[in-house]
Structure 1
């Protein structure tokens, strides 16, 4: 029988269970956040400086399905500056970013400016505050997952990301989790099929 979990990956952790190189000996890994069955893997990744919802599974088929374009992933990004409607429209329509040294046009996607600061736990490492310039929050929903895509997208429209939190994968959300918490999931596939 396979096992599935949702976890709130805190800032400063790698989305993996094993060190893959000498430089990562001092890095924090997912195994420090709980006891998971042998063979558990993260579905997709969040970079070390990103936070939020990460799904874990022992089922390679579920991993493949979530990483396909059939499942939406929603991110909240706190950006440097008061993001404009023009920048939001550019995000919606797709922007040119660099992937492995090549130009790539992101797919059109839902994006909007949040009217209120989202109710998220404080980040482990303090961010600069609004005394050093205004910030704003934007929601971006992707069904593709290029390396550091959201950060590259907001930078491409002139509003670099200061904080990035994945808040939803399919119909699975951060609800009930604080940074470092994990919850076992039952019927994970049914909760993922939002746009397939």
Structure 2
């Protein structure tokens, strides 16, 4: 609570008013909004001092990673609309090591209780990805190995990644969104944000057919 904004120097050709486009590396246990109905949890207000911008989609309180915020209503709507199928990539630490059969289940789509997920791109990472430690760290158990997956979805339902891995018997321990379409976490640390370049905004608009 009360953290100072951690803004990076704007890249060349960063977009300015009237529309604002911000990339933020959301830390663990930060709400994906500017207010908290309970009044005691960190929110985006603790990090980003720009008024009247809103998160595109959502990233759960207990998830980390890339968040896009804007005051461009049409772009926000298009990026949130499932029919446009923009890709989102996550690095996901799971309990135990999935075999190829389990990975193929995820690739084909999983029948969850209330819907069938779309096919997804799934890769078992050979090593732990280059991420900063989580604070607090996940619970470590010597007798149970873990693995990291790269998962790319074209939809974003409530707690979808966690539900998908749990459905095949590999509960999610840590979840970090590392990319939204061509935008990535590169150059950002947890709690830092920057404004998009003109080229990045143009790319998003072309993808969303704006």
Same-fold status (TM-score > 0.5): yes
Alignment of 1:1-196 (within 5 A): 1-19=18-36, 21=37, 24-36=38-50, 38-68=51-81, 69-98=84-113, 103-129=114-140, 131-187=142-198, 188-192=200-204
Distance 1:17 1:121 in 2: 24
Conservation of the 8 A alpha-carbon contact between 1:71 and 1:170? yes
Which has the larger strand fraction? 1
Conservation of the 8 A alpha-carbon contact between 1:62 and 1:189? no
**Which structure 1 segments of 5+ residues have no match?**
none
Residue aligned with 1:96, SS:
coil
CA gap 1:56/1:153 in 2 versus in 1, 3 angstroms: same
Conservation of the 8 A alpha-carbon contact between 2:125 and 2:148? yes
**Which structure 2 segments of 5+ residues have no match?**
1-17
TM-score, normalising length: structure 2: 0.85
Size of the aligned set, in residue pairs, is: 188
| 1:28-63 C-alpha deviation (Å, 9 max, x unpaired) | 100101311x21101111111000000011111111
| 1:73-95 C-alpha deviation (Å, 9 max, x unpaired) | 00111000011111110000000
Conservation of the 8 A alpha-carbon contact between 1:73 and 1:141? yes
1:109 deviation in Å? 1.2
TM-score, normalising length: structure 1: 0.90
When the two chains are superposed, the root-mean-square deviation of aligned CA atoms in Å is: 1.6
1:12 deviation in Å? 0.5
Distance 1:108 1:121 in 2: 30
Residue aligned with 1:48, SS:
coil
Distance 1:117 1:190 in 2: 33
